[in-house]
Structure 1
Amino acid sequence: MTTGPIRNHVLRMMSFMLVGMLTQTLYALVDIWWVSRLGKEAIAAVSVASNLMFVVLAVSQTLGVGVVALVSQAFGAKNERQVQYLFNQAQAQSIAAALLFLLIGYAGKDYYAARLAGDAITAGLASQFLAWFIPAQSLLFLMTGLGSALRGIGAMKPGLIAQVGSVLLNMLLAPFLIFGWLGAPALGVAGAALATFLATLSAVLGLVWYLGRASTYLRIDWAQWRPDWALWRRMLSIGLPSGAEFLIMSLILGLIYWVIRPFGAEAQAGFGIGMRIMQAGFMPAVALSFAVAAVAGQNYGAGHHQRVRQSFTESAKLNIGFMLLFTLVCQLAPALMMGWFSSEPTVVTVGADYLRYISWNYVASGLIMVAAGVFQGLGNTLPSLLASASRLLSFVLPVLWLAGREGFQLHQVWIASAISVGLQMVLSLALLRREFRRKLTAPGAG
């Protein structure tokens, strides 16, 4: 990706990433669509429990971003031995993280459900869902270790095939395990999580099988699994700011679930469905972020600084087009999309209002993601973290103040969120411009 048109490389990487991300989003959409047949408490329970996914994303990003940055730079410099070593170190690191998350998750799942759920019924259902959702999320660390190295060398197809296969299996298993079709156990919300666990496990096993047979020089070498603490610290130092961004996102979502508890399970269910729809629409921006990280990283490693700048420009143009289209859809037909997942009027109204207000920040959110991808490619994600942390001041504090006032309404939360994202975009782009001046040669010189 160090030669040829930048836009073509970005679009190629994005196309693979987009299909993969869409399949991951389908996990959430399939779960919520089937679970909605169990009632608003079940929807709220799965929504509250699934917020834990952002904690997983925070940790997996911490692991994966450093791997992508270092592998793409080593690959761009044609250092195959270093790429192989980084790959094996990444596997050891991801397995350690998976085991730690599994232990902590099971120890705190009941407390987590009780603190965020709007009522006792919702809390009980959330705990049931987490019993299988936690091990399913643990497997995502293994997917990160395998997929990040492949993404760093530009090999997108294996991960895509694994993800598509797993989502198809999830779609097949979910109704049987939720409702007990054809004699299968009727597990309710727990069945949705079990289906996700089995599907994710199949994806991990598929990638391991591929690496054992493929011609790529990425090979599992147990001798290289002994922790290289200096390298681990380096990978984590690159990935930690990016992971912290997802942790901040998890905290913000947790705050929202907490402040809207007085409005009941209907409000939490409406917000949960609206979030799933928004996440689905954001997939082009997320895919662009991952794509530009690899493209910028390889060109930065090869010393092609002007191409790094071009990778941001081309990705930003594509992002604006995608996000404007999604904004228009959410302005014109939010209730129609909500109606696919729930027939309860209050749930639909809450979700539709959320989408209508929050869609005003879609373009800004997409630009933030693209900038974050470039920061990853440059190997410095701290500026992106600083921009995300700004929302702790511009969103969290105002919402806590509003929630304590008489006459507090849900739409005030959505407006505060949209404004805070706009401010974050301004800061993120300013920091990216500063990073370009610090690390890249003048246009035309690199």
Structure 2
Amino acid sequence: MRDLTQGPIPKHVVAMSVPIAAGMLLQTLYFFIDLYFVARLGNAALAGVGTAGNVMFVVFALTQALGVGTGALVSQAVGRKDQPEANLVFNQSVGMGAWMAAATILGGYALSGPYMTMLGADAATAQAGTTFLYWFLPGLALQFPMVVMGSALRGTGIVKPTMVVQMLTVLLNAALAPVLIAGWGTGHALGVAGAGLATSIATLAGNVVLAVYFVRLEKYVRFDPSQWAPRLATWKRLLSIGVPAGGEFAAMAVFTGTVYGIAGTFGPEAQAGFGIGSRINQMIFLPAMAVAFAAAPIVGQNYGAKHAGRVRETFRVSAIASALIMLAITLACQFEAESMAHIFTSDPAVVEVTATFLRVISWNFIAMGIVFTCSSTFQGLGNTWPSLLSMGGRVSVFVVLAFWLSHQPGFQLRQLWLLSVATATLQALFSLWLVRGQFRSRLGASAAADPARA
């Protein structure tokens, strides 16, 4: 366990965010490795895997609900020096994660075909996406135990073991992708099925390694099967924090699904271009997201310890750092958009869609950095409903206006990207206002007990 209630806040932010960024980078490389080899299979396969990848947002909504609730309650318990409570929360999350993993498998196999038929630009795209999902779903289900273990460790201030495990899984995935997708060394190319299978195998291996770490080395929170049976009071506390956070990802799934559906009217090249652009976004967002994610356990421990001044300072330091990082990323996208697209495809039509998307959408990066920081602050405070209100408001406005624009004469995809920039800016302003309100209502009572303010 690492005590985040003492010492300089900027030092804690850096120490937490660097391993988190490395772990997130490696996790994102899963999708880039698959995308690189899938792109060699043609635009239908690329569009199919990209469209199918939106299912990740749905599953990530569930893992986010579980992980955020776990991390928030564990970090607050650590701040109060209440180890039995931290251990109970962790083990209840293990049990809940098992139920969610089972639901992912059953629901995923039942709905993959209808989902791809609805969103695929053509029959070939739908078939490719469905095949990919059938082999990818086990890997998605295995995200639940991985998230539970990683979130519990992050709540205790420990992030390096999770990063190391993610590194190992990415290396395994990188080795399996060319073998399973392209048939290197075997002569049996599985195509898009191999992309899903490679990720599933690698994720399974990562779970095994992280579980071994918990059994042999972790002391603060440990596996205790006697605490896995549902305790409704603890589940309620986990879900009251986690469900709104999961709702944010669900809203993003609606957002992305809307764009894929509208882009499909422009053909598989448009869907493929948006898919590549979205994956590039996921990677280049990582430094700012890591800073924001590091804020959650720091805020949580200091909120649990009633250090109001340190909570405010964590938000301020994280928000400024995220904004500066996003400014640098925005400039990179303005000048290197085509170069980024060419890493994955040489199709001029796909490159054009990707480059246009990156140039326009990058103008919302600073706003999104602020949104990420606000969201993590809400998590640390144990109230994620403001995040859901902020994201839900943005997505609702975007979806309504996007469908209206798509039916206007002369509609172009560029208009969707501009709409996204406008709604993201409004979301950032709204989130800042909500953070200010939460600080007034939740930190006022603890300010008098805060040595930093004294």
TM-score between both structures, scaled by the size of structure 1 = 0.98
Q: Counterpart in 2 of 1:85?
A: 88
Q: Counterpart in 1 of 2:183?
A: 180
Q: Is the 8 A contact 2:179 2:189 kept in 1?
A: yes
- Say whether residues 1:222 and 2:225 are aligned partners: yes
TM-score between both structures, scaled by the size of structure 2 = 0.97
**1:3 counterpart letter in structure 2:** Q
Structure-2 change in CA distance of 1:252 and 1:76 (3 Å) = same
Q: Is the 8 A contact 1:177 1:184 kept in 2?
A: no
Q: Report the CA distance between 1:215 and its aligned residue.
A: 4.6
Q: Counterpart in 1 of 2:59?
A: 56
1:319 to 314, 319, 322: 322
Q: Counterpart in 1 of 2:355?
A: 352
**1:252 counterpart letter in structure 2:** F
Q: Report the CA distance between 1:445 and its aligned residue.
A: 3.9
Q: Report the CA distance between 1:397 and its aligned residue.
A: 0.9
**2:411 counterpart letter in structure 1:** F
Deviation string, structure 1 residues 139-166 (Cα, Å, up to 9, x no partner): 0011111111111101112111110000
Q: Counterpart in 2 of 1:379?
A: 382
Q: Distance in 2 between matches of 1:313 and 1:200?
A: 35
**1:204 counterpart letter in structure 2:** N
- Aligned pairs for 1:105-124 (under 5 A) are 105-124=108-127
Q: Counterpart in 2 of 1:364?
A: 367
Q: Is the 8 A contact 1:383 1:431 kept in 2?
A: yes
Q: Distance in 1 between matches of 2:6 and 2:149?
A: 26
Q: Counterpart in 2 of 1:193?
A: 196
3-state SS of the aligned residue for 2:158? coil
3-state SS of the aligned residue for 1:181? coil
- Aligned pairs for 1:8-27 (under 5 A) are 8-27=11-30
**1:75 counterpart letter in structure 2:** V
Deviation string, structure 1 residues 341-370 (Cα, Å, up to 9, x no partner): 000000000000000000000000010000
Q: Report the CA distance between 1:135 and its aligned residue.
A: 1.1
3-state SS of the aligned residue for 2:410? coil
Gaps in structure 2 of 5+ consecutive residues: none
Q: Distance in 2 between matches of 1:261 and 1:61?
A: 28
Q: Counterpart in 2 of 1:414?
A: 417
Deviation string, structure 1 residues 264-313 (Cα, Å, up to 9, x no partner): 00000000000111110111122122210000000000010000000001
- Aligned pairs for 1:231-246 (under 5 A) are 231-246=234-249
1:257 to 251, 256, 260: 260
2:144 to 121, 141, 145: 141
Q: Counterpart in 2 of 1:339?
A: 342
Deviation string, structure 1 residues 233-287 (Cα, Å, up to 9, x no partner): 1100111111100000000100001011110000000000001111101111221
Q: Counterpart in 1 of 2:392?
A: 389
**1:148 counterpart letter in structure 2:** S
Q: Distance in 2 between matches of 1:241 and 1:85?
A: 22
Q: Is the 8 A contact 2:289 2:322 kept in 1?
A: no
Over the aligned positions, Cα root-mean-square deviation in angstroms equals 1.1
What is the aligned-residue identity percentage?
Answer: 47
Q: Distance in 2 between matches of 1:215 and 1:428?
A: 36
Q: Distance in 2 between matches of 1:389 and 1:252?
A: 10
3-state SS of the aligned residue for 2:142? helix
Q: Is the 8 A contact 2:37 2:182 kept in 1?
A: no
Q: Distance in 2 between matches of 1:395 and 1:127?
A: 27
Q: Counterpart in 2 of 1:31?
A: 34
Q: Distance in 2 between matches of 1:97 and 1:365?
A: 29
Q: Is the 8 A contact 1:300 1:378 kept in 2?
A: yes
- Aligned pairs for 1:198-209 (under 5 A) are 198-209=201-212
Q: Distance in 1 between matches of 2:71 and 2:220?
A: 16
Q: Distance in 2 between matches of 1:231 and 1:393?
A: 32
3-state SS of the aligned residue for 2:279? helix
Q: Counterpart in 1 of 2:275?
A: 272
Gaps in structure 1 of 5+ consecutive residues: none
Q: Report the CA distance between 1:393 and its aligned residue.
A: 3.5
**1:43 counterpart letter in structure 2:** L
Q: Report the CA distance between 1:184 and its aligned residue.
A: 5.5
3-state SS of the aligned residue for 2:345? coil
Q: Distance in 1 between matches of 2:225 and 2:187?
A: 40
Q: Distance in 2 between matches of 1:81 and 1:234?
A: 16
